[in-house]
Amino acid sequence: MSIWTCLKRGFLFTLKPQNLVMLGLLLVVQALAALLMISPLVPTLEESVVATPDQTTEVSLGTITPWMLVELHAKTPPGAKAGLGLGLIVFMLINTFHSAGILSVMRTTDGKFRFPRFFSGGGVYFLRFARLLILLGTALFVFNWLVMELLDPLIQEYGEDSRNERSVFYLDLVRQFFVLSSVACLVMVFEYARIRTVVLEKRSMILTTFASIGFVLRRPIRTFSIFTVTFLLDMAVVGSFALLFILFPVTNAKMIGLHLLLTVFLAYLRVGVRVVRLASEAAFFMENVGSVSGDGRELGPRSKPRDDDESYDMVPSGAAVPFHTEKTFGPSSSADEGVTARELEGADLRRSHGVRPAPVLVAPIEKDPPRKKPENQDLDVPQVVLPQEEPPASVPTVPDEPAEEPVLPSDKKPVEPDEPEAWDEFQRDVSKERRADQPPSEEPPPWAVESDPFNEDLPKK
Partner 1 sequence: MFQSIFSDWKTGSRVRSIGFLFLALFLVHFPLVRASAQQGGERPRVAYNIEVRLDPEKHQITGKETITWVSNAEEPVSDLLFHLYLNAFKNERTTLMTESPLARRGRSLRKGDWGYVDITSLHQVMSDAGSDGTRVDLKPSLAFIQPDDGNPWDQTVGQVQLAESVQPGQTVTVELEFEARFPHSFSRTGFHQDYLLAAQWFPKLGIYRTAREADRFPAPWNTAGWYCPQYHTHCEFASDFGTYRVSITAPSTHIVGATGKLQSPEVENQDGTTTWVFQQDRVHDFAWTADPQFLVEERTFDPLVPMEEFFSAEEEERFQKEKAWVMETLGLSSEELALRPVSVRLLLQPDHVNQAGRYLKAAMVGLRYYGIWFGAYPYETLTVVDPAFGAGATGGMEYPTFITTGSQFLVHPRGTRPEGVTLHEFAHQFWYGLVANDEFDEAWLDEGITTYTTSRVLEAAYPDRIQTTSYGSFDVGRTPILDLRPDLWSAEPLTTVSADWDKLHLSRLALPSSSILDYFRDLPFLNYLPDVPVHRWAGTRARFFDLEPGRAIRNRSYDFHDSEHYVRAVYVKAPLALMTLENMIGRPAFLKVLREYSARYRFGHPTGDDFLNTLNEVSGQDLSPFFVQMFDTTARVDFEVVSLSSREVSEFEGLFDEVQGDVGTRKTVGPKTFAEARQREKKRHGLMGFGGEEDTNSGASSGQYLNTFVVRRSGSLVLPVTVTYKVEGRDPMEKLWDAKEATLKYEFEDSGRLEWVYVDLMRKVLLDETLTNNVKYREPDKCAARRFSVDVLRWALNMLNFYSNFG
Binders of partner 1 among 426-455, rule CB under 8 A?
none
From CA 130, how far away is CA 279, in angstroms rounded?
Answer: 20
Q: By the 8 A CB rule, do 199 and 125 touch?
A: no
Q: By the 8 A CB rule, do 437 and 409 touch?
A: yes
Contact call for residue 69 and partner 1 (CB under 8 A)? yes
Q: Which is nearer to partner 1, 102 or 292 (CB)?
A: 102
**Stretches 1-9, 112-120, 245-253, 330-338: which one binds partner 1 (CB under 8 A)?**
245-253
- Binder among 127, 148, 206, 217 for partner 1 (CB under 8 A): 148
- Buried b / exposed e over 274-303, threshold 16 CB at 10 Å, is bbbbbbbbbbbbbbbbbbbbbbbbbbbbbb
Which residues contact residue 177 at a Cβ distance below 8 angstroms, ignoring those fewer than 6 apart? Answer: none
Binders of partner 1 among 180-239, rule CB under 8 A?
187, 190, 238-239
Contact call for residue 164 and partner 1 (CB under 8 A)? yes
Q: Which is nearer to partner 1, 95 or 325 (CB)?
A: 95
Element (H, E) at 78: helix 78-106
- Binder among 13, 113, 125, 129 for partner 1 (CB under 8 A): 129
**Stretches 7-15, 59-67, 197-205, 339-347: which one binds partner 1 (CB under 8 A)?**
59-67
Strands (E), 17-139: none
Which residues contact residue 333 at a Cβ distance below 8 angstroms, ignoring those fewer than 6 apart? Answer: 292, 318, 319, 320, 321, 339, 343, 344, 346
From CA 105, how far away is CA 453, in angstroms rounded?
Answer: 9
Q: By the 8 A CB rule, do 128 and 314 touch?
A: no
What proportions of the chain, in percent to the nearest 5, are helix, strand and coil? 60, 0, 35
Contact call for residue 166 and partner 1 (CB under 8 A)? yes
Q: Which is nearer to partner 1, 67 or 115 (CB)?
A: 67
Contact call for residue 151 and partner 1 (CB under 8 A)? no
- Binder among 65, 204, 352, 376 for partner 1 (CB under 8 A): 65
- Binder among 253, 405, 411, 413 for partner 1 (CB under 8 A): 253
Question: Around Cβ 167, how many Cβ atoms within 10 Å?
Answer: 12
**Stretches 35-43, 312-320, 374-382, 425-433: which one binds partner 1 (CB under 8 A)?**
35-43
Strands (E), 353-461: none
From CA 106, how far away is CA 113, in angstroms rounded?
Answer: 8
Q: Which is nearer to partner 1, 74 or 127 (CB)?
A: 74
Contact call for residue 57 and partner 1 (CB under 8 A)? yes
Contact call for residue 131 and partner 1 (CB under 8 A)? no
CB of 48 to partner 1, least distance (A): 6
CB of 441 to partner 1, least distance (A): 41
Contact call for residue 163 and partner 1 (CB under 8 A)? yes
- Binder among 4, 11, 119, 241 for partner 1 (CB under 8 A): 241
CB of 397 to partner 1, least distance (A): 43
CB of 280 to partner 1, least distance (A): 15
Q: Which is nearer to partner 1, 49 or 393 (CB)?
A: 49
Q: By the 8 A CB rule, do 443 and 370 touch?
A: yes
Contact call for residue 247 and partner 1 (CB under 8 A)? no
**Stretches 12-20, 241-249, 292-300, 315-323: which one binds partner 1 (CB under 8 A)?**
241-249
CB of 223 to partner 1, least distance (A): 15
From CA 157, how far away is CA 384, in angstroms rounded?
Answer: 52
First-to-final CA distance of the chain: 19
CB of 97 to partner 1, least distance (A): 9
Residues in the interface with partner 1 (CB under 8 A) total 90
